Amino acid sequence: MAVDVKVPAVGESVQEAMIHKWHKATGEAVKRDDVLMELETDKATVEVTAETDGVLEILNKEGETVSIGQVVARIDATGTATKGAAVSKGAGATPPAPVKPTSSGSEPIMMPAARRLVEENQLDAAAVAATGKGGRLTKGDVLQHLETGASAAAKPAAPAAKGPPPAPAVKLPQPKAASGTRGERREPMSMLRRRVAERLIQAQSTAAILTTFNEVDMKAVMDLRKQYKDSFKDKYGIGLGFMSFFVRAAIEALKSFPAINGWIEGNEIVYHDYYDIGVAVSGDRGLVVPVVRDADKLNMAEIEQSIAYYAGKARDGKITVDDLNGGTFTISNGGTFGSLLSTPILNPPQSAILGMHKIEERPIALNGQVVIRPMMYLALSYDHRIVDGKEAVQFLVKIKEMVEDPTRLLLGV
């Protein structure tokens, strides 16, 4: 009896997926709960396991796009495993034999650039030594032929010029021709990358995006971390990072400017009385934005633990659709990759996103003195349809004030 392996439903809005990797091969014996393959959707990567013991028959290869509920393999519970099972990447397929170049007459096969040089210089192609693959005449062959003067006889003699003899021409070296093998390869876009591309275009075409900038002095936060980092880690088992400060500061600022925590639906503005903060984290397959839910009810340690948990899932490719759904505001830290300044793009349907950047020591004027301080540029991209410029600037200033004086986070002022 054969049991169908179907593409599972992985989210309400997900209609298709791509087979990212088969962990088993056709003809291979599998056990119940063995991981058969990884499916990549536009939001997450999902593992599909065997429902029974048996021998696997693969129907769809890696890289193919499949729909929810589609049968992609079968498990024969009564079958016998075969030796040397063919893997799913083109299993058993015989590659077509390469087509050998042919030519008519004695003229060699010419690459396009070589043919153009032959015609421009009125050369006899058969007289040029061809060194390309399969006897092809390359651009380098023609240039070498011209440089050695072998083409002099092929050019018509120029009429004698009247007047004073021309100045001797300066012979310039010929540009070096490309040599060796210059590779090129094509790979299908992952479902995640396709979805990211779609959402970026959606954000650019449906929202009136503006970005406002400011800078923040990180000295107070850095001093606070240095003073309490050991006792914080001993008590909570997690390091005290910068992100928790910015999450808390963003929540306080969102309370003062509720439109930034909302979005537009049709002709209505949806305001949220809760604070689900999306935090962009990087995984092997791209950037994902898991959501820290009810972040206003979490303390600093719980925020750090949540971010570390999602970052680990992203690295392991275990992020789920539920981890990514929702979110009322997003924070992205490009500074972890060395970015000094950037303009983040909205995460639809949200109306704003905060971009953090690299901390860099710079001279600033403070109380009439030039001092060196660890400074960070902040960027707030926002939808001008719902957020006025004045609100955006004041929102960013409020975050700056709270980060530069972290006691404000404790007092909520």
For the residues of 11-59, what is the DSSP string, one character each? -TT--EEEEEEESS-TT-EE-TT-EEEEEE-SS-EEEEE-SSSEEEEE-
Last residue of a domain, one of 76, 103, 134: 76
Is 86 part of any domain?
Answer: no
**Tally of structural domains, the chain:** 2
Is 9 part of any domain?
Answer: yes
Is 173 part of any domain?
Answer: no
Is 171 part of any domain?
Answer: no
Residue whose tokens read 């087509």: 99
Q: Are residues 247 and 378 in the same domain?
A: yes
Encode burial over 160-196: b for 16+ CB neighbours within 10 A, e otherwise.
eeeeeeeeeeeeeeeeeeeeeeeeeeeeeebbbeebb
384 is catalytic: yes
Last residue of a domain, one of 60, 76, 92: 76
In order along its 413 residues, the chain shows pLDDT tens digits of 788 998 888 766 677 888 888 999 998 999 888 889 888 876 677 888 988 898 999 999 888 888 888 999 999 888 777 744 444 444 444 444 443 444 444 667 776 667 777 777 878 878 888 777 667 777 777 777 877 764 444 445 555 556 667 777 777 887 877 777 788 888 887 777 777 788 778 888 888 999 999 999 999 999 999 999 999 999 999 999 999 999 999 999 999 999 999 999 999 999 999 999 999 988 776 778 999 999 999 999 999 999 999 999 888 878 888 888 889 999 999 998 999 999 999 989 999 999 999 999 999 999 999 999 999 999 999 999 999 999 999 999 999 999 999 988 877 66
Q: Are residues 69 and 202 in the same domain?
A: no
Parallel, antiparallel, or unpaired for β 286-288 and 268-270? Answer: unpaired
Q: What is the CATH number of the domain that holds 57?
A: 2.40.50.100
Residue whose tokens read 């449906």: 206
For residue 273, with 0-12 CB atoms within 10 Å meaning exposed, 13-18 middle and 19 or more buried, which class applies? exposed
How far apart, in whole angstroms, are the C-alpha atoms of residue 11 and residue 97?
Answer: 44
145 is catalytic: no
Q: Are residues 207 and 69 in the same domain?
A: no
Q: Are residues 68 and 209 in the same domain?
A: no
Is 371 part of any domain?
Answer: yes
Is 142 part of any domain?
Answer: no
Whether the Cβ atoms of residue 24 and residue 81 lie closer than 8 Å to each other: no
Last residue of a domain, one of 19, 54, 76: 76
Q: Are residues 259 and 399 in the same domain?
A: yes
Give residue 269's domain range.
195-411
How far apart, in whole angstroms, are the C-alpha atoms of residue 76 and residue 243?
Answer: 51
Q: Are residues 378 and 240 in the same domain?
A: yes
Catalytic residue, from 141, 323, 388, 405: name it.
Answer: 388
Is 259 part of any domain?
Answer: yes
Catalytic residue, from 223, 316, 322, 384: name it.
Answer: 384
Is 168 part of any domain?
Answer: no
Q: What is the CATH number of the domain that holds 200?
A: 3.30.559.10
- pTM value is 0.64
